[in-house]
Amino acid sequence: MIAMTDLDAAFSGTEEPTERLKLDLSALAAFMAEHVPDAGALESGRKFKGGQSNPTYLLRARGGDFVLRRKPPGELLRGAHAIDREYRAIAALHPEGFPVPRPFAYCGDESIIGSAFYICEHVAGRVVWDPLMPDEEPAKRAATYANAADWLARLHSLEPAQIGLGDFGRPSGYAARNLTLWSKQYRAAEMQHVPDMHWLMDALAERVPADAPTRLIHGDYGIYNIIFAADAPRALAVLDWEMATLGDPFVDLAHHLRPWWLPPAPGAPTLCGQDLAGTGIPAMNEQVERYLSHMGLGAVPDWDWYLAYAQFRFAAMVQGVLKRYADGTAANRTSTHTAKTVAQAAASARRVLEGAGG
């Protein structure tokens, strides 16, 4: 595993794809000529450095730049890399004025480039890889985090049925079902025994909260998945909707707070343990309060469960990345996370639950 100390160098920009991930440009050009006719002649396709799950490419064409997202080739975990669901989510959100890339075409025919893919607009801007935002002024930091909280609340305010997503997931039981899913995903990807993860699978299952109102949730919402305007703390596009579904909005909120609860590691700075006074970056409770204010809510029932579950789920996600890396199927050849990340997140989640009487 390669630890990167320069996050912009590690994850920003494009690179020549490996042989396994190269695109068949001639086949892709024929598809685009039919489905994205304004693109014109396709000139090149380079892979973005960022992202560990679905390979993402910058397509340069005579008519402008486009983005292609695809499933990775090879044997995949069942239910993972849901490119089709991602496309459906952004296609529903774009007409609502929610900041997502404009979708152009989805292709489930794996004979074109070897796996399912979709094409959307290329949104130019900046992605905040370092949550400390060391090169920014306090006012810009504050506005960036506020904008992220506001759009998450806006997402959770939408009625799924009114935007054509009433059947995008089951209407209830999300928390229990998602816990079961990620427990299975973790077991499938486990390469070394982490006792706290197995403790959490049992302890969390015993304390699953009552259903919250079902909403469209992102699944991995954070400032690292938002393209902001280059000159202002304004979200232009929320990315990476592969885990979007109908579910519990508080699971989304707790995961969004990852920078505050995840301990830092080499190449992976976080807000955890940092003195944020005077930085403009809100404390975790302040970020929660801003979200709740926009939602018209006063508190989150069973908040300790949601925080612990977010950390367990993140540990399972990281383990999946580590397994793909070991198997040679990861979209990105670098990672800031190691097996230590899994153990730390699991230990932190256990402390939260035990501190709440779990």
Is it the case that residue 206 has pLDDT exceeding 50?
Answer: yes
Q: Report the C-alpha gap between 254 and 221 in whole angstroms.
A: 10
Determine phi and psi for 64, rounding to 5 degrees. Answer: 135, -170
Nearest to 305, CA basis, from 222, 221, 206, 219: 206
The sign of the torsion formed by the CA atoms of 139, 144, 148, 154 equals: positive
- Across 10-19, average pLDDT: 83
- Residue-wise pLDDT for 81-125, tens only, equals 789 999 999 999 999 999 999 999 999 999 999 999 999 999 999
pTM for this predicted structure: 0.89
Decide yes or no: CATH 3.30.200.20 for domain 7-121: yes
Is it the case that residue 222 has pLDDT exceeding 60?
Answer: yes
Task: Give yes or no on whether 7-121 and 126-355 have one common fold.
Answer: no
Q: Which CATH architecture has domain 126-355?
A: Alpha-Beta Complex (3.90)
Characterise 305 by phi-psi region: left (phi > 0), alpha (psi -120 to 50), beta (else): alpha
- Residue-wise pLDDT for 57-93, tens only, equals 999 999 999 999 999 876 655 666 789 999 999 999 9
Is it the case that residue 209 has pLDDT exceeding 90?
Answer: yes
- Residue-wise pLDDT for 142-190, tens only, equals 999 999 999 999 999 999 999 999 999 999 999 999 999 999 999 999 9
Q: Report the C-alpha gap between 356 and 123 in whole angstroms.
A: 43
Which helix (DSSP H) or strand (DSSP E) does residue 320 occupy? helix 303-327
Which helix (DSSP H) or strand (DSSP E) does residue 245 occupy? strand 245-247
Where do the structural domains in the chain lie, given as residue ranges? 7-121, 126-355
